[in-house]
Amino acid sequence: MSRLQTLRMIACMLLMGVVAIAAYLFYQHSLYFCLFFSLMIMAGIIIYICQWQYKTTRMISRMIEGIRYADFSLSFSTQHKTRTEQRLAQEINNVVAEFRTRLSENEERYQYYETLLNTVDSSLLVVDSQCNIHWMNRAAMQDLCGYRIHSVRELALLNSDFPTIILSLQPGEIKTVRIHKGDIIQELAVTVSEYSAQHGTELRLVNLKNIHAVLEENEMEAWQKLIRVLTHEIMNSIAPIISLSETLSERAVQNGMNERDYNIMLQGMQTIHRRSKGLLNFVENYRKLSRLSAPILAPVNIGDLLSDMKKLFPNKNIQYIYKVENPETTLMLDRSQIEQVLINLLKNAGEACVEQIYPEVIISTHCDLEKHLFFLSVCDNGSGILPEVLDKIFVPFFTTKPTGSGIGLSLCKQIMNLHGGSISASSEIGKGSCFTLKFLCCG
C-alpha cells in the first residue's frame, strides 16, 4: 500500500471516529435528525472503504488467476479511476507484461530445442518407470510405429523384447535390437540416460540409433577383403597346375609313351586341366564382388528403364505386370548397374513362380515425396522363401539353387549400397516373395 493510500485510510478512520463521537453526543441530547445525518455519513465512509477494498482485491485476484492459468492477456484500464487505483492498475499491468515476456521467451526456447531435437536422425524417447512415454521426437514417430505412442509396451509390436530392454538397460550400456517394419529391417543401438524431473519423477532418455546400414557396409567390406585374399591365393595355385598339365600332355606325345599309358595319363591331365579351368572361372566370377566399380551417375527416366525391361522379359510363359505410378520420375543412377540388378531380380522372380498354374511377376513403383524416397518392387506368386533362409539370401556365396553361384543378390545389394539406397526382401510361404529397391530422390 502506498503512502497516499495509507494517509487516505487513516483520514477515513479518523473521520469515522469523529462522526461516531458526534452521533453519540447527538443521541445523548436527543438530536435525532443530527444523529441520522451522522449515521448516513458513517455508512457512506464504510461503503467507500468497502468499494475501494473490493476493487483492489478484484484486480489482484484477476492477476493471480491469470498467473495460475498462464493467461497473460488481461489488462487493467487506468481511465476513470482515482490516482491510487491508476497506480495500482499500472503496477499490475507491468507485472503481467513481465510474465508475458518471460512466458514468450520460454516458449521460444522450447520451440528451439524441440526443433533441434527433431532434426537429429536418432530416435529419442522420454520414458518414466511406469512405461509411459512423455515425449518423442519426429524421427522416433517415423522410424518406430509411424505415429505417436504413449507406452513403451506398444513397442512390443516391433520386437517382443523391446520394452524389457529399454526399462532394464543401465546408463553407459549399449544393446542392439532388430525390428521389422514392413519390408524394412532395422538394427537399433539402444542407450539410456537417467535424470530427475520436478516432484522427484525419475525419467529415462532413450536414444535409438539405426546402425543397420553401417553393419551392412562393414559386413560387405569384410566379405570383399576375404574374397580378395581367397581369390589371390587360389589363382596363384591354379595357374601353375594348368600350365603343368599342358606341359605334361605335350611331353607325353613327344616321348612316345605307349598308347595305354598315354591314354591313362592323358585322361588324368585332361581332368586336372578341366577342373582347374572350372575352378579358375569359378574364382573369376566371385572376383566381381570385390572389384565392382563405383557407379557413374546420370539422369535416368524410370519409364524408359522399365520399358527396356519389358523387351528383355516378354510375356510368354510368365505374365510380367507393370504398375508404374510415376513413369516420368528421373533418378540419378548408373543405368547399366541398375539394369543388372533388375535383370537379376526379374530372372529370379520368373524362376520362383514358373511352376505355378498362372505364374506372374508384378513390377511396381511408388514415390514418397515427403521423405524423398522412390521404391521399386519386384514381386512373384511363387512358393516363397523359408524364414530361416530369408536372412541369408544377401550373404555372398549363399544359394538354394543347385546351379546357383550365390553372388547375384549379393551383387545387387552392393550396387544399391553404392547408390546410397538399399534392397530388402519379404516373403510368405505359399504366396510368394517381394524384393524392394529404395532410392533417394530429390522430390
Does 75 map to a domain? no
Is 427 strand, coil or helix? strand
Does 398 map to a domain? yes
Does 201 map to a domain? yes
Output the domain CATH number for residue 154. 3.30.450.20
Give the torsion sign (CA, 124, 192, 420, 142).
Answer: negative
Question: Which residues of the chain have a pLDDT value below 70?
Answer: 1-6, 8, 66-67, 69-70, 72, 76, 78, 80-85, 181-185, 198-200, 211-262, 264-266, 268-269, 271-291, 397, 402-405, 442-443
Does 168 map to a domain? yes
Distance CA 212, CA 189 (A): 9
Give the torsion sign (CA, 95, 101, 107, 110).
Answer: negative
Residue 184 has, within 13 A of its CA and on its CB side, a CA count of 17
Query: For residue 112, which amino acid is it?
Result: Y
Q: Same domain, yes or no, for 1 and 128?
A: no
The total number of structural domains that make up the chain: 4
Q: Same domain, yes or no, for 237 and 194?
A: no
Which of 417, 423, 416, 426 has the alpha carbon at shortest distance from 386? 426
pLDDT, residue 346, reads: 93
Which residue, of 209, 230, 262, is where some domain finishes?
Answer: 209
For residue 204, the tally of other CB atoms under 10 A from its CB is 19
Which of 141, 176, 174, 179 has the alpha carbon at shortest distance from 159? 179
Q: Same domain, yes or no, for 191 and 302?
A: no
pLDDT, residue 333, reads: 93
Output the domain CATH number for residue 384. 3.30.565.10
pLDDT digits (tens, 9 = 90+) for 23-68: 778 778 777 777 788 888 888 878 877 777 777 777 777 777 766 7
pLDDT, residue 210, reads: 76
Which residue, of 187, 209, 231, is where some domain finishes?
Answer: 209
Which of 345, 357, 374, 373 has the alpha carbon at shortest distance from 433? 345
Task: Determine the structural domain holding residue 176 and report its residue range.
Answer: 119-209
Distance CA 276, CA 243 (A): 10
Task: From residue 84, give the alpha-carbon distance in Å to each of 47, 236, 270.
Answer: 17, 104, 119
Query: For residue 185, which amino acid is it?
Result: I
373-380 and 422-428 beta bridge pairing: unpaired
Hey, what's the cell of 360? 506372374
Hey, what's the cell of 106? 520460454
Q: Same domain, yes or no, for 409 and 301?
A: yes
Residue 246 CA to its chain's centroid (Å): 61
Give the torsion sign (CA, 397, 398, 402, 403).
Answer: negative
What pTM does this model have? 0.49
Distance CA 152, CA 166 (A): 8
Check if the beta carbon of residue 166 is closer than 8 Å to that of residue 192: yes
Does 62 map to a domain? yes
Q: Same domain, yes or no, for 361 and 420?
A: yes
Q: Same domain, yes or no, for 316 and 416?
A: yes
Distance CA 38, CA 293 (A): 110
Does 86 map to a domain? no
Residue 397 DSSP code: T
Q: Same domain, yes or no, for 63 and 127?
A: no
Q: Same domain, yes or no, for 191 and 247?
A: no
Does 443 map to a domain? no
Which residue, of 159, 188, 209, is where some domain finishes?
Answer: 209
Q: Same domain, yes or no, for 237 and 325?
A: no
Distance CA 300, CA 435 (A): 21
Q: Same domain, yes or no, for 337 and 403?
A: yes
Does 227 map to a domain? yes
pLDDT, residue 239, reads: 64
Q: Same domain, yes or no, for 316 and 395?
A: yes
Q: Same domain, yes or no, for 251 and 140?
A: no
pLDDT, residue 394, reads: 82
